[in-house]
Amino acid sequence: MGTMKLSDEQIENVHHHGYAVVENFIDEQTLVCAQKALWELFPTPADYFDNPGTHQSYTTSQFAGLRLFPYPNWDLNRLAVYPDLVDAARRICGTDDLDLYKVELWAKYAGAIDYDQSHHFDYGNHSLVVPKNSSRQCQMTTFILLSDVTEEDGPTKLVPKSKSRDIPLVPRQQPKGALQDLEISITGKAGTLLVYRTDVLHRASNFLAPGRSRFIMLVDFQPRGWSWTGKMAWPDHALSPYWVAAMEKMTADERSLFGFPRPGDKYWDEQTLRDVGLRYPLMDMSVYDSLTGVDH
């Protein structure tokens, strides 16, 4: 379990200022296991900087270090459904019926490429429209720091809504450098959580020293049923060699965050219980069976 649930004050900060930063959000054991699992996907900083030339793929784009869910190790996959994170999403999104609509890991290495960005709103590729100012229901986007982030480590720069309320949502991207006098740096120890809304101006920044690196996980939630919002279509990732194992290890409630039919849903009958059980051999199907009254 998490060590630092979001307080009511932090929830209000998300709605009023557009963001909240929570230190020590991920418990130490979960964090250490997740950090070790990173090296199944990325070069360690020591390996990378020992010979950057062997890792040319990271020089092609700011986003070359992105890796999409699911991952080969449960120690990373379980961060997406971390109980205190789901609790925060329910309170910020204003509903218990959540859609976990994006999970990404992002690795950056100093000198690989220019990571500097202009301030922008994230709603552009999270929604077909724009966020609704008069509603407290919103998409909740997050960064989970998996490495320490100081001013030298390319921290996210964010403009609190208290300083940007008069800036229109369109255009989505601001002129480069225009708002730097209003921004704050999101720094913190590994295990820190940044929660922010898609109508908050923010940007990536460059590393300020050689040999530095940054690793984060991005997990985003929204109220289920919004046809105009989203990022990933999970069935498009269900042929990943790691998908079956991830689903098998989750609880029914955790699977439902990805859109998996809940226990008691009309989807479940004798045929679907049998065939879903074949697709996910280690999944306990009894939770779906017992609540539908199917006897076989």
**Helical spans, DSSP H, in the chain:** 8-16, 28-37, 45-50, 74-77, 83-93, 243-249, 252-256, 270-279, 286-290
**Residue bearing the bigger pLDDT, 64 or 296:** 64
Q: Read off the pLDDT of residues 116-165 as tens digits, 9 standing for 90 and up.
A: 999 999 999 999 999 999 999 999 999 999 999 999 999 999 999 999 99
Number of Cβ within 10 Å of residue 12's Cβ equals 12
pLDDT at 131: 96
pLDDT band at 293 (very low <50, low <70, confident <90, very high): very low
pLDDT band at 294 (very low <50, low <70, confident <90, very high): very low
Partners of 223 in the beta sheet?
98
Angle between helices 8-16 and 83-93 (to 10 degrees): 50
Q: What is the DSSP annotation of 195-255?
A: EE-TTSEEE---BSSTT-EEEEEEEEEEETT-TTB-S--GGGGTTSTTHHHHHHHS-HHHH
pLDDT at 2: 42
pLDDT at 64: 98
What's the mean per-residue pLDDT of the chain? 95
pLDDT at 137: 94
pLDDT at 4: 67
pLDDT band at 217 (very low <50, low <70, confident <90, very high): very high
DSSP code of 11? Answer: H
pTM (whole model) above 0.85: yes
| Domains along the chain with CATH numbers | 8-232 (2.60.120.620)
pLDDT band at 296 (very low <50, low <70, confident <90, very high): very low
Q: Read off the pLDDT of residues 5-55 as tens digits, 9 standing for 90 and up.
A: 899 999 999 999 999 999 999 999 999 999 999 999 999 999 999 999 999
Residue type, 146: L
Integer Rg of the chain from CA: 20
The answer for 42, left when phi > 0, alpha when psi is -120 to 50, beta otherwise, is beta
Omega within 30 of 0 (cis) for the link into 70: yes
